[in-house]
C-alpha cells in the first residue's frame, strides 16, 4: 500500500515507500562514511553534485512538509545543501548520513520560519490561499479527488497550527518515518520527550480536526466504522457538500 510505513530489514534501508521515502536511503551504518561523502570532504566538486542529485528530492520533500507552500522552496533547498557543503567536513559517521541531513534540513527550515516571522507580510505575499496542492492521480472521481485535496489542505492547516517542536516531531515521524531515537538525535532532545511531543501533537491535531468542518465530517464517518479499519469509508451522496 502506498504510503504505509514498514520497517525493512537491514540497517541501510529506511522505510521505503511507494511515494516519498526518507533522506539517505543508501545510508551506510554509523562510522562507515559513505565514499561519496569522503570525496565531498576532500573537495570533490563532482561528488558534491552527485550528493545533491542523490538527496535533493528527499530534502525538498521534508522542506515542503515542514514549511508547506508558503515559502520559496528552491531557496530553502539550496540553503540546506550550502549548509551541507559547509559542514560536511565535520561529518565523521557518528550518525547516519540521513540523520545528519535531517538535522541540517530541520535547522534550516526552523531558521527560515523564524526569519519569515520577522519579515513583514505584504498583501501580495499572503499565501494561505495560495493553491499549492498538486493534482494527484488517485484514481478517484474528480469530485472525490477535489474532496480529498480539500481534506489534505485542511489537515495541513492543522499541522501548521501546531507548536514548532511538536510539528517537527510529527512531520519527521509520521510523514518522514524517522524513528523516535533518530528524531531525538536530530532535535537534540531525549527520546521520551520526542514521544511526549508526538502524543500531544496527535492529540492537538484531533482537537484541531474538530474545528475544521471538512475534517470533522471526515472523522465522523469513521466513528461508526469498524475499529481497526483504516480504509476510507464510502461517502454517502451529499456528505460534505452541504
Candidate residues 11, 57, 89, 213; the one interacting with other proteins per rule CB under 8 A: 57
Indicate the residue among 17 and 113 with the shorter CB distance to other proteins: 17
Stretch that binds other proteins, among 22-30, 98-106, 119-127, 191-199 (CB under 8 A): 191-199
Q: 38-71: string of b/e by CB count within 10 Å (b at 16+)?
A: ebbbeeeeebbeebbebbeebbbbbbbbbbbbeb
CB of residue 112 to other proteins, shortest distance in Å: 15
Binding to other proteins by residue 116, rule CB under 8 A? no
Stretch that binds other proteins, among 97-105, 107-115, 188-196, 234-242 (CB under 8 A): 188-196
Residue 133 is given by DSSP the state P
Candidate residues 155, 161, 189, 240; the one interacting with other proteins per rule CB under 8 A: 155
Residue 239 near residue 221, CB atoms below 8 Å: yes
CB of residue 230 to other proteins, shortest distance in Å: 5
Interactions with other proteins, residue window 7-36 (CB under 8 A): 7, 15, 17, 19-20
Candidate residues 32, 35, 45, 92; the one interacting with other proteins per rule CB under 8 A: 45
Indicate the residue among 70 and 107 with the shorter CB distance to other proteins: 70
Stretch that binds other proteins, among 34-42, 94-102, 110-118, 211-219 (CB under 8 A): 211-219
Residue 156 near residue 69, CB atoms below 8 Å: no
Q: How many CA atoms lie within 13 A of 110 on its CB side?
A: 16
Site of grid cell 451529499? 238
> Which residues contact residue 194 at a Cβ distance below 8 angstroms, ignoring those fewer than 6 apart?
169, 173, 180, 183, 184, 187
> Which residues contact residue 121 at a Cβ distance below 8 angstroms, ignoring those fewer than 6 apart?
none
Amino acid at each position: 500500500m502506498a504510503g504505509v510505513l514498514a520497517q525493512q530489514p537491514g540497517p541501510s534501508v529506511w522505510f521505503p515507500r511507494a511515494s516519498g521515502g526518507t533522506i539517505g536511503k543508501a545510508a551506510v551504518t554509523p562510522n562507515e562514511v559513505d565514499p561519496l561523502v569522503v570525496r565531498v570532504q576532500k573537495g570533490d566538486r563532482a561528488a558534491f553534485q552527485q550528493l545533491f542529485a542523490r538527496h535533493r528530492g528527499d530534502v525538498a520533500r521534508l522542506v515542503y512538509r515542514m514549511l508547506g507552500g508558503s515559502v520559496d522552496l528552491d531557496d530553502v533547498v539550496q540553503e540546506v545543501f550550502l549548509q551541507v557543503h559547509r559542514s560536511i567536513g565535520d561529518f565523521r559517521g557518528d550518525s547516519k548520513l540521513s540523520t545528519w541531513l535531517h538535522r541540517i534540513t530541520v535547522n534550516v527550515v526552523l531558521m527560515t520560519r523564524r526569519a519569515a516571522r520577522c519579515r513583514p507580510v505584504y498583501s501580495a505575499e499572503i499565501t494561505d490561499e495560495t493553491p499549492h496542492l498538486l493534482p494527484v492521480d488517485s484514481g478517484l472521481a474528480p469530485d472525490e479527488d477535489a474532496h480529498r485535496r480539500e481534506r489534505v489542505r485542511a489537515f495541513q492547516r492543522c499541522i501548521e497550527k501546531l507548536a514548532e517542536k511538536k510539528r517537527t516531531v510529527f512531520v519527521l515521524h509520521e510523514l518522514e518515518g524517522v524513528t523516535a531515537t533518530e528524531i531525538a538525535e536530530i532535535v537534540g532532545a531525549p527520546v521520551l520527550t520526542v514521544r511526549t511531543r508526538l502524543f500531544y501533537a496527535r492529540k492537538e491535531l484531533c482537537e484541531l480536526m474538530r474545528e475544521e468542518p471538512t475534517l470533522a465530517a471526515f472523522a465522523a464517518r469513521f466513528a461508526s466504522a469498524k475499529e481497526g479499519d483504516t480504509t476510507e469509508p464510502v461517502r454517502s451522496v451529499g456528505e460534505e457538500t452541504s
